[in-house]
Amino acid sequence: MPEQKKKFVNRRNFIGTSVALAGSLALPAYAQIAVEPEIDDTVRHNISSFRSLDWRPYFSDTRNGAILVDTQSRALHFWSEDLSVYKLYPTSVPQSDDLTRLGRTSIIRKVDGPSWSPTPNMLKRNPEWPRYIGPGPDNPLGTHALYLSWQYYRIHGTQDTRKIGRKSSNGCIGLYNENIETLFGLTKNGTQVLLI
């Protein structure tokens, strides 16, 4: 019996040491992405496998700023027009391929405190949903919304933070409210958007 107890303690110590070591290795990479806004030639990864990207493979220029949404890695990249600002945010993405729209668009309208109404297709799938929700804590668009030139598509905040990093939207790209608030201040009508 004492021998069994000894094995249990050793396994617990091993697991605790492994978790502590893994946590200490992951933190510097995350901090590097969160703190370091400039892009260099090296590829850096944080604990969620996001990687900083260069804008050039995706845009011919950064006129009006540029947003790249990578639906596979569930990340949004933003470059300011003068390249002085680079942001990388985790996102929610559409639940399925049939709800996903890829390609080039742009921001055509910005709303602080948006209201929400379900699209006709949403109502077909969910007839019990409310027809309108005004601004506030129950609004699915969160605190801010960037309306795209594609009808019904937006980049917006969310009150439900569990959605971020998941396939959980009905077509839009969701951000934490604090991230959409920052992005809202950095973008303007005409900011380029590419979803890949």
Structure tokens at 99: 């709800």
As a whole number of angstroms, the distance between CA 110 and CA 55 comes to: 23
The answer to whether 172 is a known catalytic residue is: yes
As a whole number of angstroms, the distance between CA 188 and CA 150 comes to: 16
| Burial label, 63 (beta-carbon count in 10 A; 0-12, 13-18, 19+) | exposed
Element (H, E) at 19: helix 2-35
Burial 142-161 (b: 16+ CB within 10 A, else e): bbbbbbbebebbbbbbbeee
Identify the bridge partners of residue 156 per DSSP, sorted by sequence position.
145, 174
> Which one is catalytic: 45, 77, 144, 156?
156
- Give the residue numbers marked as catalytic: 156, 172
